[in-house]
Structure 1
Amino acid sequence: MTPPAGTGPNGPLATLEHKLLAVNAEYGYWETVPTRWKDNDVYGHVNNAVHYSVMDTVINAWLIREAGLDIHRSRSIGLCVESQCVYKGSIEFPEPFRVGLRVGHLGRSSVRYEVGLFREDGETPVAEGRFVHVFVDRETRRPVEIGEPMRSAMNALLTGPTEETTA
């Protein structure tokens, strides 16, 4: 039987998995997110769609609490233009997610968040994902530069290159 395209030790998914795999110490922000009874699917574990919701929630909570985003009044807003998740294990209700957040790339108007979802007592993630936000003007929806204090908060979580170092 031939494995699915992109899998195996030399496929693009293996490369992605290698790039994403992290340990707890590599995340600068942590939050615990409870699972709910309705998060479990018929297979007895938290459904994969819930992982995306947890990542989105932690990113936006961090933006509001730590980076100064006012979701009702800020002139710029972040639009998700890319998201991805690699699943490495399962978790079941009532066990909470322990979620680590870092910034893998910071550009002029975009940021790539990298998120690790761990069991509460685990060192290896059950899932790792990434979200790319492009910040745009709330009215025109055209890209704008990420301003302060948001840029400083993002720099504090940065583990990868900035636009200046990659240009």
Structure 2
Amino acid sequence: MTARVSRLLPGKARSLVTSSNNRRAEDCHQRHQEAYGYFLPIQTRWQDNDQYGHVNNVVYYSYFDTIINHYLIRYCGLKTGLLTSPLVGFMVTNQCTFHTPIGFPQVPLAALAVEKVGQSSVHYRLALFPPNAAQESQSVGHRDLSDGLFFGHPMLAQFGALACTTGSSVHVFVNPATSKPTTLPEDFRRGLLRLMNPPPE
């Protein structure tokens, strides 16, 4: 719809058009690597494929869950045992949009950003980037898998410029003894704020 036609619409309809245009621009931005701060190569498995020869839709959620928890454990100090952790994360919202398929044995790149940090909740933005078709072979080392990659790492050039999948999710952190929301510790919060773009003032 052109700007001229948009100006002729009533106020409410014009606002819906503007909102829709803004959403499309945001969706386009989220398909690019610069929208994310942290990356993790994910090895697909034979069992991830479905009868159509590509990774089944439900499996993408496990890839996203993997990068989120990898970052929380590695860079925010999340403990993985109920007896040793002062907080545990409950996933309360998940959403995924599929753009192009991937399949075993490809090694896609999961991407993570933090959109909002509340008192006890975290809103994540997620994506999966396919291997670069021009790249004949990928070189994914143990360190890449254990540390992950931050934006600007030269290895990111081995992956496609546009995400094949984008998504979002929300964690609420609770006290494991009571299952009630708990305030995020300051060092935990600092690790999350590192992935906000732009960073908070």
Question: What residue in structure 1 maps to residue 162 of structure 2?
Answer: 124
Partner of 1:5: none
Query: Distance between the aligned counterparts of 1:84 and 1:104, measured in 2?
Result: 14
Match of 2:190 among 152, 156, 165: 152
Change (3 A) 1:55 1:17: farther
Match of residue 37 from structure 2: 28
Q: Which structure carries more relative contact order (alpha carbon 8 Å, separation 6+)?
A: 2
Structure with greater proportional strand content: 1
Q: Number of matched residues?
A: 153
Matches within 5 A, 1:79-158: 79-121=90-132, 122-158=160-196
Alpha-carbon distance in structure 2 between the residues aligned to 1:124 and 1:46: 18
- Report the TM-score, using the length of structure 1 for normalisation: 0.84
CA shift for structure 1 position 97: 1.4
Within 2, Cα distance between the matches of 1:33 and 1:160? Answer: 26
Give the 3 Å change call, closer, same or farther, for CA 161–105 of structure 1 in structure 2: farther
Quote the Cα distance in structure 2 between the aligned partners of 1:66 and 1:157: 11
CA RMSD for the aligned pairs? 2.1
User: TM-score, normalising length from structure 2?
Assistant: 0.70
Report SS of the residue matched to 2:58. Answer: helix
Q: Specify the alignment match of 2:76 in structure 1.
A: 67
User: In 2, distance between residues paired with 1:16 and 1:143?
Assistant: 31
Inter-partner Cα distance in structure 2 for 1:134 and 1:56: 14
Aligned partner letter, 1:159: N
Separation in 2, partners of 1:13, 1:91: 28
Q: Is the contact made by 2:114 and 2:122 (CA closer than 8 Å) also made in structure 1? A: yes
Q: Which has the larger radius of gyration?
A: 2
Alpha-carbon deviations, 1:89-139, whole Å to 9, x = none?
Answer: 100111111011110111111001111101022111111111100111111
Would you say the 8 A contact 2:193–2:199 is kept in 1? no
Distance 1:139 1:95 in 2: 41
Say whether the 8 Å CA contact 2:122–2:171 is kept in structure 1. yes
Determine if contact 1:17/1:86 at 8 Å carries over to the other structure: no
1:19 aligns with 2:57: no
Q: Secondary structure at the match of 1:95?
A: coil
Is contact 1:105-1:159 (8 Å) kept?
no
C-alpha change, 1:48 and 1:158, in structure 2 (3 Å) is: same
Partner of 1:56: 65
Percent identity for Structure 1 against Structure 2: 37
Distance 2:199 2:119 in 1: 12
Query: When you count helix as a share of all residues, which structure comes out higher?
Result: 2
| Structure 1 position 37, deviation (Å) | 1.1
Deviation, structure 1 residue 18: 4.6
